[in-house]
Copies of this chain bind each other. A is one copy, B any other.
Amino acid sequence: MPTPHQGTPRYRMVAEELRRRIEAGAIPAGALLPPESALVQEFGISRGTAREAIATLRAEGLVVTEHGRGTYARPQHPVRRLSADRYRPNAVHASDLPETSLRADVRLDEVSATPTLARLFGVAAGTPLLQRRVLFWAHGVPEQLAISNYLLSVVAGTPLTDPTPEPWLSSITTQLSSIGINVTKIRELVRARMPTAEEASALRLLSGVPVLALTRRTYSREQIIEVANEIVLPADRAEIEYEILPT
């Protein structure tokens, strides 16, 4: 009966139909999709084809499969929106959340500038840097993984070398102004990619969820003060807003 593979492949038509049901709300977020056996009967296809259809949706990040339980529409996470306001002086790291629900795991290391980092800072390779690694939590869910680098000569002896998390919950602008540095410009480079295995587990990412990867360069009068060369955000829980004023 199922005419094999004429025009649109069967598995794609099945995937399309399931996507339609999810988007129409017939299969609400978190609810189970029909099991493979039901798809076999309903669409008159073989199990392999049904699995192919579900694999398509999984690759799109629309559904999640659990062994022995079934496949369900991926629950929507509350999305955190990061706006340019987050760099306002006095801004809290996550100004849209009550402070009580925030947490941060911090690790500080003294490292030597790699060639790439040295070029960004405009210093010689090997120049000592302060590297900070932070995993931010909100509402008990990991939200952001960040690796920042500071010129050690700039921050040495300042509160920024304090490994307690409190200072890190405020914006980079606030942190730097507290040690007398006036931030004049911030440049952010936005990329997206699939997470590494480490990132996936640290951020508790479901399969099929990409990450937003930011590189931030913080300037004070054309001098780069800080480089956060990998700020990693789960793409299903975060979006970023920017404002551009054409000149």
Contact = CB atoms under 8 A, between A and B. Distances in A.
A178 interface: no
A207 B246 contact: no
CB-based closest 8 A-B pairs? A210-B210, A192-B192, A192-B235, A186-B244, A61-B194, A242-B242, A190-B240, A191-B239
How many copies of this chain are found per oligomer?
A: 2
A56 B197 contact: yes
A213 to B, nearest CB: 9
Interface string A200-235: 000000011111100000000000000000000001
A88 B210 contact: no
28 contacts: A48-B48, A56-B197, A59-B194, A59-B207, A60-B194, A61-B194, A88-B246, A88-B247, A173-B246, A187-B241, A188-B241, A188-B242, A189-B239, A189-B241, A190-B190, A190-B212, A190-B242, A191-B212, A191-B235, A192-B192, A192-B210, A192-B211, A193-B210, A193-B236, A194-B208, A194-B209, A242-B242, A242-B244
B60 A197 contact: yes
B193 A239 contact: no
A63 B176 CA distance: 41
Interface string A137-173: 0000000000000000000000000000000000001
Categorize the interface residue count of chain A: 35 or more
A183 interface: yes
Contacts of A239: 189-191
A133 interface: no
A89 B149 CA distance: 35
A193 B235 contact: yes
